[in-house]
Amino acid sequence: MKPRLIASFVAFVIVGLASAEAGTVVSGTVTGIWDAAGSPYWVEGDLNVPDGGTLTIETGVAIRFRGGYELLVEGTLLAVGTVVDSILFTRDEPIPSHEWHGISLVGAEASTEIGYARIEHVRAPDPYPEVRGGAIWIDSCSPHVHHCLLQNNRSTNANRNGMGGGVACLSSSAIIEQCIIRNNYADSGGGICTLEYGTVVIRNNLIEGNTAPSSGGGIYAGVRSSPVIENNVVRNNTAYGWGGGGITLWNWYAAFGESKTVRSNRIIGNTTTAAGGGFYIRYDFSVLENNTVADNHATGGGGGIYVLNQGPGDYPPDVKNFIVWGNTGPDPSIKLEASTGSAVSVTYSDVEGGWSGTGNIDKDPVFADEQKHLSPESPCVDAGNPAGAFEDECFPPSEGGVRNDMGTYGGPIACGWLEDATAIEDAERGWPWCGIRVETRPNPLRSGTTLQLELPEPAVITARVYDSTGRLVRTIASERRLGTGAHRLSWEAMDDHGRAVAAGVYFIRCAAGGGAVVRRVSVIR
């Protein structure tokens, strides 16, 4: 049997003295494997995974901190639970002296992965720069963080230097996906903060109920950072100070900044006592596509979007295929800071109260539900930018034909959206979506194709084929229960009546649990 290396010699001695207590006491340098047999792991000093070392934390393990200690990773951390058996990082007792200092990934190996973990009750240390990052601080490395619940963490000090109550990233191209990031607090970026350099990918997360006294209640994307922010629910966050209840995009000037990409998000119900209930955009020339900005409030103006820059010469932000509706406050939809000659390009968008620009409308979007799906009769269906690059590829959630739908569910990346977004309410487990993987071979196809599925847990599968107009063509499987592992389903390029389908583009949508995957296939004859 492979030996289980718990910690340094110092920690081993402490274990011997504490043998009457179940679990394992750890501190100092840690490598090897932490398994359920040694759990819980009581932390009584700072932990360090050194450069070249690896710490593997197995499913079902609880790590409980008994003071203001951090887990510093300079090597490799592999902390990946499962959908039914998570990993827990928390304080030992619900008292201030047991609030810990979070996980710091500093120059860690690219293979570092944190998944199906709950990380909570962190209080970052007060001094700058150590105060940055609540639950997870990522510096000069690019780990994968997925299916985690990050809640009730804080990054703040008297000088308002705190950043990223859930996650803060510096010089990183980390991937942060399918997480619930809620009820965290940081001076900037209550939920997530991205700082200089790197391209952090933030996708398919629920970012909810976070607070920032300076700016960016949900997300703060700062100077010289260029994140890709897509398919997230950013709701019910709060900001004070500068503003940006939902998302703040902040640069100095175009010459000193990097473009950010923000697309297919739902920014809903966020508030600020300053400007920009949904978006606060400062000196930033980001690309913003297919977002729905609804029911936000800004006391200082710009209930939906607030823009501050130096005019057209400073590359204004580019807003395409938006829905901006139901927001409140002075200039409830979009506010330009007039004193600076600000500008914004808005096209093919539904803006309540109207806005000048090609393809813009001012009509009730006729939402079908609280998730802001569009009803088939919505004027936003097939009303977005007609260029091929914006075409819808996923039916549902897209409606109508292939022309882009305004709002979240239009465009080519709507395939990443949930079958049932209420699955994100499963916050106690902390992993909102099933990690279903699907491949189709062959593609293109003449007489049929095989769907190769990989399930991380038993699930009920539904697989359907739609044509390019969104019409249902064939149900391959309906509510079929499959076990963990690999499976194959077949489509013989026929419809539900046994007739061969015409040549063209089709979409196969596989849903399992709360998740869904769409694959585009081409039939040739």
Domains of the chain: 206-433 (no CATH), 434-523 (2.60.40.1930)
Q: Is 254's pLDDT higher than 50?
A: yes
- Average pLDDT of the chain is 87
Give me the pLDDT at residue 436, please: 55
List C-alpha distances in Å: 175 to 29, 147, 348, 378. Answer: 27, 11, 30, 34
Q: What value does the mean pLDDT take over residues 326-350?
A: 90
Q: What value does the mean pLDDT take over residues 132-139?
A: 97
Chain-centroid distance of CA 12 in Å reads 39
Q: How many residues does the chain have?
A: 525
If one compares 501 and 436, the residue with the highest pLDDT of the two is 501
The percentage of residues in the chain with a pLDDT greater than 90, rounded to a whole number, is 63
Chain-centroid distance of CA 377 in Å reads 30
Give me the pLDDT at residue 14, please: 28
With bands split at pLDDT 50, 70 and 90, how would you rate the model's confidence at 369? confident
List C-alpha distances in Å: 375 to 290, 378, 382, 397. Answer: 16, 5, 12, 10
Q: Residue 161 and residue 158: Cα distance in Å, rounded?
A: 8
Chain-centroid distance of CA 70 in Å reads 24
First-last CA distance in the chain: 57
| DSSP state letters, 451-507 | EEEEESS-EEEEEEEEETTS-EEEEEEEEEEE-SEEEEEEE-SB-TTSPBPPSEEEE
Give me the pLDDT at residue 397, please: 86
* Three-class SS state of 383: coil
Strands, E assignment, 107-157: 113-115, 117-120, 136-139, 144-146, 149-151, 154-155
Give me the pLDDT at residue 343, please: 85
Q: What value does the mean pLDDT take over residues 410-434?
A: 52
Tokens at residue 244, please?
């940006």
Strands, E assignment, 253-367: 261-263, 266-268, 271-272, 279-282, 287-289, 292-294, 297-298, 305-308, 318-320, 323-325, 334-336, 345-347, 350-351
Q: What value does the mean pLDDT take over residues 374-386?
A: 96
Give me the pLDDT at residue 165, please: 98
Q: Is 380's pLDDT higher than 90?
A: yes
Element (H, E) at 85: none
Q: Residue 195 and residue 227: Cα distance in Å, rounded?
A: 9
Q: Is 460's pLDDT higher than 90?
A: no
Q: Is 137's pLDDT higher than 80?
A: yes
Give me the pLDDT at residue 515, please: 61
With bands split at pLDDT 50, 70 and 90, how would you rate the model's confidence at 485? confident
With bands split at pLDDT 50, 70 and 90, how would you rate the model's confidence at 11? very low
Give me the pLDDT at residue 516, please: 65
13-44 per-position pLDDT tens digit: 223 333 345 899 999 999 999 999 999 999 99
Q: Residue 331 and residue 226: Cα distance in Å, rounded?
A: 28
58-86 per-position pLDDT tens digit: 988 999 999 999 999 999 999 998 766 78
Of 93-97, 148-152, 179-183, 436-440, the least confident = 436-440
Torsion of CA 500, 501, 507, 508, to 10 degrees: -10
What pTM was estimated for this model as a whole?
A: 0.80
Neighbour-count burial of 442, counting CB atoms closer than 10 A to its CB (0-12 exposed, 13-18 middle, 19+ buried): exposed
User: Residue 175 corresponds to which amino acid?
Assistant: I
Q: Is 256's pLDDT higher than 60?
A: no
Give me the pLDDT at residue 513, please: 61
Q: What value does the mean pLDDT take over residues 212-233?
A: 94
Residue from 142, 239, 255, 242 nearest 194 by CA: 142
Give me the pLDDT at residue 4, please: 28
Q: Is 478's pLDDT higher than 70?
A: yes
Q: What value does the mean pLDDT take over residues 137-152?
A: 94
Give me the pLDDT at residue 488, please: 87
Name, of 278-292, 426-440, 447-461, the range with top average pLDDT. Answer: 278-292
Torsion of CA 411, 412, 416, 418, to 10 degrees: 40
Q: What value does the mean pLDDT take over residues 434-449?
A: 73
Rg, C-alpha atoms of the chain? 24
With bands split at pLDDT 50, 70 and 90, how would you rate the model's confidence at 288? very high
Q: What value does the mean pLDDT take over residues 443-448?
A: 85
Give me the pLDDT at residue 245, please: 98
Q: Residue 151 and residue 387: Cα distance in Å, rounded?
A: 41
Tokens at residue 220, please?
């703060």
Of 122-131, 356-365, 468-477, the least confident = 468-477
